[in-house]
Amino acid sequence: MRLFCFAYAGASAAIFREWINLLAPSLEVMAVELPGHGSRRDEEPFCAMGPLIDNLVPALLPELNKPFAIFGHSLGALIGYELARQLYTRAGLQPRRLFVAGHSAPNCKRSSKLVHNLPEEEFIAELRRLNGTPPDILANSELMSLMLPLLRADFCMNETYQHRSSPVLSCPVSAYGAIADTEVSSEDISAWRSITKGPFSSLLFEGDHFFIHAATPLLVRQIELELTAH
């Protein structure tokens, strides 16, 4: 089975490198590198969900010639969800299981605060508050000048996303959160139940919004258990 993985805002596919050795050999990690990120940093990043999904569907269809699952964290959870919906609508395909982590359900009430268009100083302060960007990078003006356009594009995609209630998925969905996440509550995680007619489960890990790093072994083990059980 192939596990397609989508990272959080600003991150590259490299954050999933460790997963290759932690998951069973029967699970093939397919970490998706989006334009503007990591090895594709010279490409223009997408700042809206629709055009990104229009790009992803034809690019990934040739890789869906065996059973597959999707995992996404934070912005990646939203991308994974929309990808699953569009694969179903356009190609009649659904993942064996959709894993969403560190993001509120798409039908939850969203904050009216827009971060992506804040002045640079305020934008960097918000990045510092979220605790997802290493302090040494935040303090490096040269690096930040390179990263800010990508981060603004990713934040814009998340903040301008408009949820449509249909189609509802029928595949199993697992939603993961963190006990100390101040951005996404346990209720926000449980609310993912509404996006599927299939089985649903939710689980909270120790850590903050970026528990994907602190709890990697436990998270990967849980994913493997759920895929194996399926």
* Omega cis (within 30) before 199: no
The structure's pTM equals 0.92
pLDDT value at 230 more than 70 = no
Catalytic residue status for 74: yes
Domain residue ranges of the chain, discontinuous segments joined by +: 2-108+164-229
Residue among 74, 145, 190, 201 flagged as catalytic: 74
Report the alpha-carbon distance of residue 31 to residue 19 in Å, rounded.
10
User: Which of 11-20, 105-114, 196-205 has the lowest average pLDDT?
Assistant: 105-114
More confident residue, 197 or 128: 197
What CATH number should be reported for the domain whose range is 2-108+164-229? 3.40.50.1820
Q: Which residues contact 64 (CB under 8 A, 6 or more apart)?
A: 2, 87, 91, 93
- What's the rounded mean pLDDT across residues 62-75? 96
β-strand partners of 176: 101, 203
